[in-house]
Every structure is written in structure tokens, then in C-alpha cells.
Amino acid sequence: MSIQLAIFVSGRGSNMEAILKSIQDGELDASVELVFSNDPHAKALETAKQFGIKTASIANTGLTRSEHENKVRELLETVSFDYIVLAGYMRILSAKFLSHFRDPRGFFRVINIHPSLLPAFPGKCAYEDAFSYGVKVSGITVHLVDEQVDHGAILAQQSFPRLADDTLETFKARGLAVEHALYPAVLREISNNGIKLDNLTRESIET
């Protein structure tokens, strides 16, 4: 079953691009109805336009979170979508905003990717935090968004090793490669089989 997506980005949008390529290559049965950014100058918006995707931006500068989210919600009312996909969106979504996208089964129809094996290393500096801690194994998590930051039911996790000669840059590059494969794969599973509540867990699910 094809799914409709609204993708939220704040920067270059490499995960967004991986999703768009997966759709273009016929690997993911989905359509992206909108790519939205809180930064009008985000590189991801130009990339999305190259794929022929509708884009929009609403700068958050000078707005309260509530004011900004109200404008975003008004924008979303102009498009049809099944899921909001966060792909490097650097804004925390409030419980009030999320409440407008609650599935009848209880979860929010908002999906996020995070560069650690949650619940370890939440926050925006996960790669740096994991590397500084000295982990031997790190990983990537795709999860449903809830009212807490980098929390919510885990859809999939995939680990990758930290090598002895890794720099932070090579460590992050290895993680990004995993991100770019895992996110489209999770969306493909949702497209094929939906979200199975009995498979969701706060514990790790190795893929």
C-alpha cells in the first residue's frame, strides 16, 4: 500500500534524499507530498525541488514555538499525508502539535531517526556524545515520536562498530551510511505491512 509522506528538514537533508531516491528507484512505494523546513535557506529544499517535490518553509525566527507550530499546522492542512517524517528537523515538537496527528490506535503519526541506540545518547549531539564516551558499538534508531525528546516506540535499530582508528568524522560517516539505508527500509516496511503495534517496544530491535 502506497503511503503519503510530509518530510520535515532543517539542513542539507541527506536522509530526505535517501528516501526520495528509494522512491525514485521503485524500492519504496510512497509519495512525498511536501518537504517543509523551518529554515528558508535549507539545502534540502533545493534538493527536493530537483526531485519535483512541493516545498515550503516557515522561519521560526521571531516566533514563539506555539506561533510557529500553528503556522506549520495550517500549512499541513493544505496537503494530504499519512505520516510526518522528521529527517534532520532541529525543532522539538510540542505535545499540542503532536496531538493533531494521533492515530486512532494511540500513537502519533510522526517518525524520527536518531543517530544512537536509544535510549542511549539522546539529544542533538548523539554522535559526539557516543564517540566521546568511547563506545565500541553505536547505532541508529528509527522511532515513533512521543511527548518526550528522542523517546517513543522503536520501529527499528541497526548497530555499527566504532573502529580503533576512527576519528569523529569517519565514525559519523559510517553512521550516516546506516541512516541512509535504514530509514527507507523502515518506511518500506510500513508501506508493505503498516505499523504493527504488537511489535513496538522501548527496547532495541535489531534489524
Residues carrying an active site annotation = 114
3-9/83-86 β-pairing: parallel
Long-range CB pairs of 37-40, under 8 A, 24+ apart, other chains included = 37/8, 37/9, 37/10, 37/89, 38/10, 38/68, 38/89, 38/90, 38/91, 39/10, 39/11
Helix axes 168-193, 126-133, angle to 10 degrees: 130
Residue of 77, 84, 116 lying closest to 98 (CA atoms): 84
